[in-house]
Amino acid sequence: MTTLLVIAKEPRPGRVKTRLTPPFTPGEAAALAEASLADTLDVVAATPATRRILVLDGEPGPWLPAGFEVLRQCAGGLDERLADAFARCDGPALLIGMDTPQVTPELLATDLADGDACFGPAEDGGFWALGLAVPDPALLRGVPMSTPVTGAVQRERLVAAGLRVRELPRLRDVDTAADAHAVAALAPHGRFAARLARCASVTAR
């Protein structure tokens, strides 16, 4: 089976989801980030895996379910932190972020035995998932992160290395308020949708 990795920040006001402010306050943005992370971790916990690892910037909280190893993110840019996460795996590994609470166990239960890599593009030009049958940190180092071409560059890096890449469905990250409402509509029964409804109700007053 596969190691499932989630890379995340501790959901503290002013440190996460800053593009949600406005219309939300920093506290509301952090609460939305926590709900998104909790939904994501629950899905990972429900997906068969060899190991489940949270690669965390910050401290774990009550949102962390049982069954996860917690590893600290290394210093450096996001490319270095993603590369380091893969470096800690000794077999097939799939990495996702905390920004797609609409993810499902079916999406994560990908079999890397029939290919070298899987790649989940995001609507903003990045990627929400990257799986490697043989984790190689060099495949991520130097990829420009958080740009409209991040996903294209990362995918081309995989192809240029001669890997067979299987495409996963395109998903929408939660970055803006519009993203939050669109994603909540896709997973209306999760913590994220419930938290968004409460925040939106307060904001509308």
pLDDT digits (tens, 9 = 90+) for 186-205: 999 999 999 999 998 765 55
Checking phi first, is residue 120 left (phi over 0); if not, alpha (psi -120 to 50) or beta? beta
Q: Any idea of the CA torsion for 87, 93, 135, 11, to the nearest 10 degrees? A: -40
101 touches 194 (CB < 8 A): no
Strands 51-57 and 69-72: parallel
For the question of whether the overall pTM of this predicted structure is more than 0.85, the answer is: yes
pLDDT digits (tens, 9 = 90+) for 79-112: 999 999 999 998 999 999 999 999 999 999 987 8
Strands ordered across the beta sheet of 69-72: 69-72, 51-57, 3-9, 93-96, 127-132, 117-121, 165-167
195 touches 184 (CB < 8 A): no
The pLDDT-based confidence of 1 (bands split at 50, 70, 90) is: confident
161 touches 152 (CB < 8 A): no
